[in-house]
A and B are shown apart, each in its own frame.
Chain A
Amino acid sequence: MKQPIEMYINGEARSVTVDPYRSLLDTLRGEVGLTGTKKGCDVGDCGACTVIVDGRPLNACLMLAVEAGGCRVETVEGLQASPDQLHVLQDAFMRHGAAQCGFCTPGILMMAKSLLENNANPSDDEIRFGLSGNICRCTGYTKIFDAIRSAARQLQETPA
């Protein structure tokens, strides 16, 4: 029996009707139509589906949509302040070559956003630890670390 739920996705109230077994990931990608969040494993191993729910980063494949009822959900589509104003992290990822195939990128961007919100000046070890649940198979992570360091500096100089 499908259930109606309301979520606040990227600041906008959205009502959807979902099967009780449907994951938040499948709901975002299917019912809501936000396909920026990727499915790399569907079992919580890869972090490609990282979204921020009520301020906490988590794997959208491991949360049921019905559990997210009433929650604030942030996805990669909500990172930009406006169509022509990118988030500092998005800009840094482009400049530093932190995205290759780009499949892990939305999840890593959301994890990095959460990391910087909780720790404005992370050490290299803290960045590494912060990304330990996100698999990237293209970059060797070096350019991702560069981008996050650069974004952190920029955010400290001119807070968003």
Chain B
Amino acid sequence: MNKPHVPVEARRAFTIVGQSVRRNDVLEKVTGEGLYTADINRPGLLFGKIKRSNVAHAKISRIDTSKALALLGVKAVLTHEDVPRFLHYGSPHPRSASCTRDQYILDDKVRFWGEGIAAVAATSEEIADEALDLIEVDYEELPGVFDIDSAQAPGAPLIHEVGPGSNLVLPPVRVERGDVENGFAEADFVLEGVFEGGRPVPAYMEPNVCMADWDGSNKLTFWTSTQTAFMVRGSLAEVLGLPLNKVRVLVDHMGGGFGAKQDLFQHEYLCALLARQTRRPVRMEFTRAETFIAGRSRHPCRILLKQGFRKDGTICARDMKIIYESGAYGSHSPGVTTVGTNAATSLYRCENVRLEGCAVYTNTPIAGAFRGYGVVQAYYALDIQMDEAAERLGMDPAELKLKNAVREGDIAPSGHPIVGRGLEACLKHGITAFDWIAKRTETPRNDPAQPAIRRGWGVGCEMHGSSAYPGIREQGNATVKMNEDGSVTLLTGAAGLGTGAHTALAQIVAEELGVTFESVSVVHGDTDVVPWDIGAFASHTTYLVGSAAKIAAGKLRAAVLARAAEKLQTPTEALDMVAGRIFIADAPDRGLTVADAMGPSKGIPADHLIETGSYTPTKSYSFAAHFVEVAVDIETGLVDVRHVMPVHDVGRVIHPIAAAGQIEGGIQQGIGHTLTEDYLIDRTNGRSLNAGLVDYKMPLSMDMPKIETVILEAAPDPGGPWGAKGVGEDPIIAIGPAIANAIHDAIGARFHHYPITPEDILCALAAQKKE
């Protein structure tokens, strides 16, 4: 544990950190010049396509590719007989102990409807598509399991030969603190509920795409839309039997990922193998339907939550069992199960907790990493049950949540003490700024002008860690170079999946060095050039890589000042540097520019300086409380989210507009998964029912509420640069229960699942009438 036990560094004033500078990657985005993987071409390019199974669980008894191979323009066809039989990870984190090796590149067994069973490379996409139809496959069908219950029923067909058995992905995760039985015995009342979560997908705008090209030295160059370029390098090298320096992974711009583009996908291995076989570059690009079928969703889940409360609102016991549906492969289930289960130790204080988390294989598409990573599900249940407790107690729900909010010194899910009182600050701020009490107590639910409308107000809370500690011992790296003219180059392996991470990193470097933001350029996305990086996930890039960049910039500053001291004939300690000018602190008129310091002068040749920073973090937690207003139409069942005030504590804010953009985008996805988004699988045969952007309903421009984003710097964490913490995942966690609680406030119906559809609303209203 190298988390510094010192207060967050004091500093005179910031000149660049805290400013919404123009993002260093945005000009290319608004001019169309930015290159995404599908925009890159190579001479002689072939197009790869995947043949997908039309059964959910089967042995392949025969697969005949002869007709496909005979088609003019087809250059290669691969089946399970042609590829290395290598059991690999879906989520290959080399610094994590909890990966699941359960996938072959291609297998003679099919485990979900739409799984890839063969791959084709051809001179055009049309020919490749035609070739897929010419591949003949005979299946020996096996009985399938399409939900948690049938997968866990005695005698259920087993999907995998590996793992602990009983269709479990990993042995159950168990967490126990205090004495739960005793806690329940002391309770004045107990609440118990079953909660269920659907299958939302990230639906990033850029479909998965990659391109492979081999050179004469048997080196693979691989362009791909990934959050984890070094994981792609590692896994491809392992499967292809190559040293790491013979695989070069490139990613420039990418069109979103939201966690899911951390996995190694089947098409990525196949693209590399097709290119090796044909000795030509091959590109594989998912159709939009394939981003559903072969992408990664959030884990559907069932949660049994039981809590004991005292009359004063104290929680005296918490017992939770959470079952995540992993789909046909393990992917991120070990991490999701561990993080989601441990999350329930916290948020609302309770000394006696007993938690169990499982992940279960089913013959359905793969669930993986997705913004919120198991915590969305756990806190949806926990926060809604707090709302129920408030109702039972006759207390205001925000007051009850404030009373129980996690605070300074409490043991976090990661096992180390919470820093600061971020959640309390968010709740207190929102109660006042949203005018919560008056809205809840003085505003009529009915609106005379709109007789079918019922209004309601709700609050939901969350906390989320920056970094994947303790599951993964992360490491952030940065190299910062000062060139002979005083310009600065930052080399980072952190992916730019759209959040503005490279801008924040350049701000941190410029601030620490004492140069202008514009003088720092960022090199990224080339595993041959940049320092090793674990990938962009777990809301950690600013926290983790930002800290490494700050360390490197600090060393570089010292080196530059030493060089200037020589030129100025003065001790280094006497010097200061601001905005690219070095001067004697006591005599600010005496100085020189960074360019002069670096350039040649009599007897001193020009130089360039290189420094590196490496950082191994533990974890910080960010906090949020979302206050929402909904309008429920009791005739149509439609829920309109009208107003959201997200109040977030993210420690030191590096770039306010980018941070707000994360929050507002997270709310959009969260509204979707709470009300409309669900990737539906036919539970009788495993078929996908709505793999497209019309049938999978996301909130769009007409659906977005008024959002009044509030960002507090309430609880800076010493582990991040000047106290900065993560923000990427937090918003999607708090918005869900806030909406569910607001719906209850509007119509008196309590929902324990998502999405809450108009049909659910109308059924609940009809049931109320019967009573």
Which A residues are within 8 Å of any B CB, using their own CB? 21, 29, 34-43, 45-46, 48, 75-77, 79-80, 86, 90, 93-97, 99-106, 109, 127-129, 131-132, 134-145
Instruction: Please determine whether B665 and A140 come into contact, CB atoms closer than 8 angstroms.
Output: yes
Interface of B is mostly: loop
Instruction: Specify which of B30, B35, B497 is in contact with A101 (CB 8 Å cutoff).
Output: B497
Given A45-B692, A99-B26, A140-B668, residue A135 in contact with residue B660 (CB < 8 A): no
Contact A128 B32 (CB under 8 A): no
Q: What are 14 A-B pairs at a CB distance below 8 A? A: A21-B126, A38-B255, A41-B288, A46-B693, A93-B26, A94-B27, A99-B26, A102-B26, A103-B204, A128-B702, A137-B258, A138-B665, A141-B664, A144-B701
CB distance from B692 to the nearest CB of A (A): 6
Inter-chain contact A99/B30, CB cutoff 8 Å: yes
A100:B30 contact, CB within 8 angstroms: no
Tell me which residues across on chain B come within 8 A of A141, comparing CB atoms. 664, 668, 700-701, 704
Give the shortest distance, in Å, between A151 (CB) and chain B (any CB).
Answer: 12
The docked-state distance in angstroms from the alpha carbon of A61 to that of B276 is 32
Q: How many angstroms between the C-alpha atoms of A21 and B207 in the bound complex?
A: 22
Q: Which residues of B contact A128 (CB under 8 A)?
A: 701-702, 704
Q: Is B601 an interface residue (CB 8 A)?
A: no
DSSP majority for the A interface? loop
Contacts of A45 in B (CB 8 A): 288, 692-694
- Cα of A55 to Cα of B437 in the assembled complex, Å: 51
Residues of B within 8 Å of A101, CB to CB, are 204-206, 253-256, 497-498
When the two chains form their complex, are residues A142 and B707 in contact, meaning their CB atoms are under 8 A apart? yes
Instruction: Give the complex CA separation of A143 and B664 in angstroms.
Output: 9
B661 interface residue per 8 A CB criterion: yes
Q: Which has the most chain B C-beta neighbours within 10 Å: A35, A76, A129?
A: A35
* Whole-angstrom CA separation of A106 from B36 in the bound complex: 13
A135 touches B698 (CB 8 A): yes
Q: Which residues of A contact B698 (CB under 8 A)?
A: 135, 137
Quick one: closest B residue to A46, CB to CB? B693
**Which residues of A sit under 8 angstroms from B33, Cβ to Cβ?**
36, 77
The answer to whether A37 and B32 have CB atoms under 8 Å apart is yes
In the bound assembly, the distance between CA atoms of A38 and B22 in angstroms comes to 23
Complex contacts, B665 vs chain A, CB 8 Å: 100, 137-140
Which residues from 5 to 48 on chain B have a C-beta closer than 8 Å to any C-beta of chain A? 20, 22-23, 25-36, 38-39
Contact indicator B36/A38 (Cβ below 8 Å): yes
Q: How many residues of B contact A (CB 8 A)?
A: 57
Bound CA span A94–B25, Å: 10
Which A residues are CB-close (under 8 A) to B613? none
Residue of A nearest to B667 (CB): A140
Cβ-defined contact, B207 with A142, below 8 A = no
Q: Is B658 on the interface with A (CB-CB < 8 A)? A: yes
**B21 to A: closest C-beta gap in Å:** 11
Contacts of A42 in B (CB 8 A): 287-288
Residue ID in chain A nearest B36 by CB atoms: A103
Q: Which residues of A contact B707 (CB under 8 A)?
A: 140, 142
Do B206 and A103 have beta carbons less than 8 Å apart? yes
**Which residue of A has the minimal Cβ distance to B497?**
A101
Max chain A Cβ within 10 angstroms of own Cβ: one of B26, B39, B205, B669: B205
| CA–CA, A48 and B97, complex, Å | 40
Known: A29-B39, A41-B693. A102 touches B702 (CB 8 A): no
Pair A100/B692 contact, Cβ less than 8 Å: no
Contacting pair A77 B32 (CB below 8 A): yes
Enumerate chain B residues within 8 angstroms of A95, measured Cβ to Cβ. Answer: 22
How far is B643's CA from A92's CA once the two chains are assembled, in angstroms? 25
- The answer to whether A142 touches B664 (Cβ under 8 A) is yes
Q: Say whether B548 faces chain A, with CB atoms less than 8 Å apart.
A: no
Residues of B within 8 Å of A96, CB to CB, are: 657
3 closest A-B pairs by beta carbon, nearest first, are A36-B32, A101-B498, A103-B255
- A109 CB to nearest chain B CB (Å): 7
Shortest Cβ distance from B756 into chain A, in angstroms?
20
Known contacts A135-B698, A142-B707; is-contact A106 B32 (Cβ 8 Å)? yes
Q: Which residues of B contact A109 (CB under 8 A)?
A: 30
